[in-house]
Amino acid sequence: MRLGDGRSVFVKHALTPEAEDWLQTERLVYEHVRGRFMPAYLGAHDAVLVLEDLSAADWPPPWSSQRIDLVLRMLSDVRSSAQLPGLPRLADMRSAIVGWPIVADDPGPMLSTGICSAEWLDAALPVLLRAAEEAELDGDDLLHADVRSDNLCFKEIGPVLVDWNIACIGNGDFDVAFWLPSLRLEGGPQPWDVFPDSAGLAAAVAGFFAARAGLAPPAGAPTVREFQLRQLEVALPWAARELGQASP
Protein backbone atom coordinates (compact mmCIF):
# COMPACT_ATOMS: atom_id res chain seq x y z
CA MET A 1 0.00 0.00 0.00
CA ARG A 2 1.23 3.49 -0.81
CA LEU A 3 0.64 6.25 1.74
CA GLY A 4 -0.22 9.85 1.02
CA ASP A 5 3.39 10.91 1.61
CA GLY A 6 4.59 8.47 -1.05
CA ARG A 7 5.90 5.79 1.30
CA SER A 8 5.16 2.17 0.48
CA VAL A 9 4.10 -0.06 3.42
CA PHE A 10 2.91 -3.61 3.96
CA VAL A 11 -0.54 -3.92 5.57
CA LYS A 12 -1.62 -7.20 7.17
CA HIS A 13 -5.33 -7.64 7.90
CA ALA A 14 -6.88 -10.54 9.83
CA LEU A 15 -10.11 -11.84 8.30
CA THR A 16 -10.98 -14.66 10.72
CA PRO A 17 -11.02 -15.00 14.54
CA GLU A 18 -8.06 -17.41 14.36
CA ALA A 19 -6.13 -14.96 12.20
CA GLU A 20 -6.93 -12.18 14.69
CA ASP A 21 -5.34 -14.26 17.47
CA TRP A 22 -2.26 -14.82 15.31
CA LEU A 23 -2.10 -11.12 14.54
CA GLN A 24 -2.17 -10.25 18.24
CA THR A 25 0.79 -12.59 18.83
CA GLU A 26 2.62 -10.96 15.96
CA ARG A 27 1.84 -7.49 17.27
CA LEU A 28 3.20 -8.45 20.70
CA VAL A 29 6.49 -9.51 19.11
CA TYR A 30 6.79 -6.41 16.92
CA GLU A 31 6.10 -4.10 19.85
CA HIS A 32 8.62 -5.64 22.24
CA VAL A 33 11.40 -7.40 20.32
CA ARG A 34 14.24 -5.31 18.95
CA GLY A 35 16.90 -6.50 16.56
CA ARG A 36 18.19 -6.18 13.03
CA PHE A 37 16.27 -9.36 12.19
CA MET A 38 12.94 -7.57 12.74
CA PRO A 39 11.06 -5.66 10.04
CA ALA A 40 10.24 -2.07 10.93
CA TYR A 41 6.95 -1.94 12.82
CA LEU A 42 4.92 1.12 11.86
CA GLY A 43 1.77 0.61 13.89
CA ALA A 44 -1.41 -1.38 14.43
CA HIS A 45 -5.13 -0.86 14.84
CA ASP A 46 -7.60 -3.58 15.77
CA ALA A 47 -7.00 -6.44 13.29
CA VAL A 48 -4.50 -4.55 11.13
CA LEU A 49 -0.69 -4.43 11.25
CA VAL A 50 1.43 -1.96 9.29
CA LEU A 51 5.04 -2.92 8.56
CA GLU A 52 7.82 -1.80 6.30
CA ASP A 53 7.52 -2.87 2.67
CA LEU A 54 10.12 -5.59 2.03
CA SER A 55 9.16 -6.31 -1.56
CA ALA A 56 12.47 -4.86 -2.76
CA ALA A 57 14.51 -7.06 -0.41
CA ASP A 58 16.31 -10.18 -1.65
CA TRP A 59 14.19 -13.27 -0.98
CA PRO A 60 15.89 -16.69 -1.15
CA PRO A 61 16.59 -19.05 -2.79
CA PRO A 62 19.27 -19.31 -4.06
CA TRP A 63 21.34 -20.11 -0.99
CA SER A 64 25.06 -19.82 -0.37
CA SER A 65 27.16 -20.96 2.57
CA GLN A 66 27.53 -17.30 3.55
CA ARG A 67 23.77 -16.76 3.60
CA ILE A 68 23.20 -19.94 5.58
CA ASP A 69 25.75 -18.78 8.16
CA LEU A 70 24.01 -15.39 8.34
CA VAL A 71 20.68 -17.05 9.09
CA LEU A 72 22.23 -19.31 11.74
CA ARG A 73 23.78 -16.27 13.42
CA MET A 74 20.46 -14.45 13.17
CA LEU A 75 18.67 -17.36 14.86
CA SER A 76 21.24 -17.18 17.66
CA ASP A 77 20.31 -13.51 18.08
CA VAL A 78 16.60 -14.36 18.02
CA ARG A 79 16.89 -16.95 20.76
CA SER A 80 18.76 -14.55 23.04
CA SER A 81 16.13 -11.82 22.70
CA ALA A 82 14.04 -10.81 25.69
CA GLN A 83 11.28 -13.21 26.73
CA LEU A 84 7.70 -12.13 26.20
CA PRO A 85 5.38 -13.34 28.98
CA GLY A 86 2.35 -13.42 26.69
CA LEU A 87 3.76 -16.03 24.31
CA PRO A 88 2.90 -19.74 24.50
CA ARG A 89 5.54 -22.31 25.42
CA LEU A 90 6.75 -24.77 22.81
CA ALA A 91 6.83 -27.62 25.34
CA ASP A 92 3.12 -27.17 26.04
CA MET A 93 2.45 -27.90 22.35
CA ARG A 94 4.48 -31.14 22.27
CA SER A 95 1.51 -33.36 21.41
CA ALA A 96 0.69 -31.19 18.39
CA ILE A 97 4.30 -30.92 17.25
CA VAL A 98 5.99 -34.29 17.48
CA GLY A 99 3.35 -36.14 15.48
CA TRP A 100 4.50 -39.72 15.99
CA PRO A 101 1.78 -40.66 18.52
CA ILE A 102 -0.76 -39.59 15.88
CA VAL A 103 0.97 -41.79 13.29
CA ALA A 104 1.04 -44.69 15.76
CA ASP A 105 -2.73 -44.40 16.28
CA ASP A 106 -3.42 -44.25 12.54
CA PRO A 107 -0.48 -44.89 10.18
CA GLY A 108 -2.71 -44.92 7.11
CA PRO A 109 -2.33 -41.27 6.04
CA MET A 110 1.46 -41.38 6.31
CA LEU A 111 1.73 -44.73 4.51
CA SER A 112 -0.55 -43.44 1.74
CA THR A 113 2.19 -41.00 0.76
CA GLY A 114 4.57 -43.83 -0.16
CA ILE A 115 7.30 -42.28 1.99
CA CYS A 116 8.09 -45.66 3.57
CA SER A 117 6.84 -49.21 3.79
CA ALA A 118 4.62 -50.53 6.55
CA GLU A 119 7.44 -52.88 7.53
CA TRP A 120 9.92 -50.02 7.89
CA LEU A 121 7.46 -48.00 9.97
CA ASP A 122 6.70 -50.95 12.26
CA ALA A 123 10.41 -51.37 12.97
CA ALA A 124 11.30 -47.69 13.34
CA LEU A 125 8.22 -46.31 15.08
CA PRO A 126 9.15 -47.31 18.66
CA VAL A 127 12.52 -45.58 18.29
CA LEU A 128 10.96 -42.49 16.69
CA LEU A 129 8.33 -42.27 19.42
CA ARG A 130 10.91 -42.46 22.17
CA ALA A 131 13.27 -39.95 20.53
CA ALA A 132 10.49 -37.43 19.87
CA GLU A 133 9.22 -37.76 23.43
CA GLU A 134 12.71 -37.16 24.81
CA ALA A 135 13.49 -34.24 22.47
CA GLU A 136 14.06 -31.09 24.51
CA LEU A 137 11.42 -28.52 23.57
CA ASP A 138 11.44 -26.52 26.78
CA GLY A 139 13.70 -23.55 27.31
CA ASP A 140 13.75 -19.80 27.72
CA ASP A 141 14.54 -18.78 24.16
CA LEU A 142 12.40 -16.76 21.76
CA LEU A 143 11.38 -18.84 18.74
CA HIS A 144 9.92 -17.76 15.44
CA ALA A 145 8.69 -21.37 14.96
CA ASP A 146 8.21 -21.20 11.18
CA VAL A 147 11.61 -20.39 9.69
CA ARG A 148 11.64 -20.94 5.91
CA SER A 149 12.37 -18.91 2.82
CA ASP A 150 8.79 -17.58 2.57
CA ASN A 151 9.35 -15.88 5.91
CA LEU A 152 12.84 -14.44 5.57
CA CYS A 153 14.64 -12.06 3.29
CA PHE A 154 17.96 -10.28 3.08
CA LYS A 155 18.60 -6.57 3.37
CA GLU A 156 21.95 -4.81 3.46
CA ILE A 157 21.94 -5.13 7.26
CA GLY A 158 21.40 -8.89 7.07
CA PRO A 159 18.51 -11.37 7.20
CA VAL A 160 15.05 -10.28 8.34
CA LEU A 161 12.31 -12.59 9.66
CA VAL A 162 8.63 -11.88 9.01
CA ASP A 163 5.34 -13.56 9.99
CA TRP A 164 5.80 -13.96 13.74
CA ASN A 165 2.24 -15.16 14.27
CA ILE A 166 3.19 -18.47 15.94
CA ALA A 167 6.15 -17.18 17.95
CA CYS A 168 6.70 -18.98 21.24
CA ILE A 169 9.19 -19.63 24.04
CA GLY A 170 11.28 -22.80 24.22
CA ASN A 171 14.44 -24.46 22.97
CA GLY A 172 15.88 -22.20 20.28
CA ASP A 173 17.47 -25.19 18.52
CA PHE A 174 13.99 -26.08 17.27
CA ASP A 175 14.04 -23.09 14.92
CA VAL A 176 17.20 -24.44 13.30
CA ALA A 177 15.90 -28.01 13.07
CA PHE A 178 12.57 -26.95 11.57
CA TRP A 179 14.28 -24.80 8.91
CA LEU A 180 16.72 -27.42 7.61
CA PRO A 181 14.35 -29.65 5.56
CA SER A 182 13.08 -26.73 3.48
CA LEU A 183 16.63 -25.40 3.16
CA ARG A 184 17.72 -28.74 1.71
CA LEU A 185 14.85 -28.66 -0.79
CA GLU A 186 16.13 -25.29 -2.02
CA GLY A 187 19.64 -26.53 -2.73
CA GLY A 188 21.09 -26.28 0.76
CA PRO A 189 23.18 -28.87 2.60
CA GLN A 190 21.96 -32.04 4.22
CA PRO A 191 20.48 -31.30 7.67
CA TRP A 192 23.04 -33.47 9.45
CA ASP A 193 25.86 -31.40 7.96
CA VAL A 194 24.43 -28.28 9.63
CA PHE A 195 23.07 -29.87 12.80
CA PRO A 196 25.01 -33.13 13.34
CA ASP A 197 23.40 -34.03 16.66
CA SER A 198 19.89 -32.68 17.05
CA ALA A 199 19.25 -34.59 20.31
CA GLY A 200 15.93 -35.91 18.99
CA LEU A 201 14.74 -32.72 17.34
CA ALA A 202 15.12 -34.36 13.92
CA ALA A 203 12.62 -37.01 15.05
CA ALA A 204 10.26 -34.33 16.35
CA VAL A 205 10.41 -32.39 13.08
CA ALA A 206 9.94 -35.54 11.01
CA GLY A 207 6.95 -36.44 13.15
CA PHE A 208 5.40 -33.03 12.57
CA PHE A 209 5.41 -33.62 8.82
CA ALA A 210 4.61 -37.35 9.07
CA ALA A 211 1.35 -36.64 10.89
CA ARG A 212 0.24 -34.10 8.27
CA ALA A 213 1.62 -34.91 4.81
CA GLY A 214 -0.99 -37.58 4.05
CA LEU A 215 -4.02 -35.60 5.15
CA ALA A 216 -6.43 -33.70 2.92
CA PRO A 217 -5.29 -30.11 2.35
CA PRO A 218 -6.87 -27.49 4.60
CA ALA A 219 -9.21 -24.92 3.11
CA GLY A 220 -7.35 -22.16 1.35
CA ALA A 221 -4.01 -24.01 1.27
CA PRO A 222 -4.19 -26.56 -1.57
CA THR A 223 -0.42 -27.10 -1.86
CA VAL A 224 0.55 -27.30 1.82
CA ARG A 225 0.42 -31.12 2.04
CA GLU A 226 2.65 -31.50 -1.00
CA PHE A 227 5.21 -29.17 0.58
CA GLN A 228 4.98 -31.03 3.88
CA LEU A 229 5.58 -34.32 2.06
CA ARG A 230 8.67 -32.93 0.39
CA GLN A 231 9.97 -31.76 3.76
CA LEU A 232 9.22 -35.20 5.20
CA GLU A 233 11.30 -36.73 2.39
CA VAL A 234 14.25 -34.86 3.90
CA ALA A 235 13.39 -35.01 7.60
CA LEU A 236 12.61 -38.73 7.83
CA PRO A 237 15.99 -39.96 6.50
CA TRP A 238 17.65 -37.38 8.78
CA ALA A 239 15.84 -38.74 11.83
CA ALA A 240 16.55 -42.34 10.80
CA ARG A 241 20.24 -41.60 10.32
CA GLU A 242 20.48 -39.87 13.69
CA LEU A 243 18.75 -42.75 15.46
CA GLY A 244 20.74 -45.51 13.78
CA GLN A 245 17.76 -46.80 11.80
CA ALA A 246 17.72 -48.04 8.22
CA SER A 247 16.84 -45.42 5.65
CA PRO A 248 13.12 -45.49 4.78
Mean of pLDDT values over 152-179: 97
Q: What percent of the chain has pLDDT over 90?
A: 81
Give the confidence band of 5 by pLDDT, cuts at 50, 70, 90: low
| 237: in domain | yes
pLDDT tens digits, one per residue of 189-222 = 999 999 999 989 999 999 999 999 999 999 888 9
User: Nearest to residue 180, comparing CAs of 202, 161, 153, 160?
Assistant: 202
| 248: in domain | no
Higher per-residue pLDDT: 117 or 8 = 117
Q: What angle do CA 234, 238, 150 make, to 5 degrees?
A: 40
| 173: in domain | yes
Q: What angle do CA 62, 73, 145 make, to 5 degrees?
A: 80
Q: Using a CB cutoff of 8 Å and minimum separation of 24, what contacts does 112-118 make?
A: 112/214, 113/213, 113/214, 113/229, 113/232, 115/210, 115/213, 115/229, 115/232, 115/233, 115/236, 115/248, 116/236, 116/248, 117/248
| 14: in domain | no
Let me know if 65 is exposed, middle or buried by CB neighbors in 10 A (0-12, 13-18, 19+). exposed
Q: Report the C-alpha gap between 24 and 208 in whole angstroms.
A: 25
**pLDDT of 4:** 55
Other Cβ atoms less than 10 A from the Cβ of 116: the count is: 22
| 32: in domain | no
* 3-state secondary structure (DSSP) of residue 45: strand
Q: Report the C-alpha gap between 134 and 137 in whole angstroms.
A: 9
Query: Residue 175 belongs to what domain range?
Result: 55-242
Q: Is the pLDDT at 141 greater than 60, yes or no?
A: yes
Mean of pLDDT values over 101-106: 97
Let me know if 189 is exposed, middle or buried by CB neighbors in 10 A (0-12, 13-18, 19+). middle
How many structural domains is the chain composed of?
A: 1
CATH at residue 63: 3.90.1200.10
| 35: in domain | no
Is there a contact between 159 and 78 (Cβ–Cβ < 8 Å)? no
| 159: in domain | yes
Judge if pTM exceeds 0.85: yes
CA 31 centroid distance within chain:
21
Mean of pLDDT values over 157-175: 96
Q: Is the pLDDT at 7 greater than 80, yes or no?
A: no
Least reliable range by pLDDT among 1-5, 114-118, 198-202, 226-230? 1-5
Mean pLDDT in the chain? 93
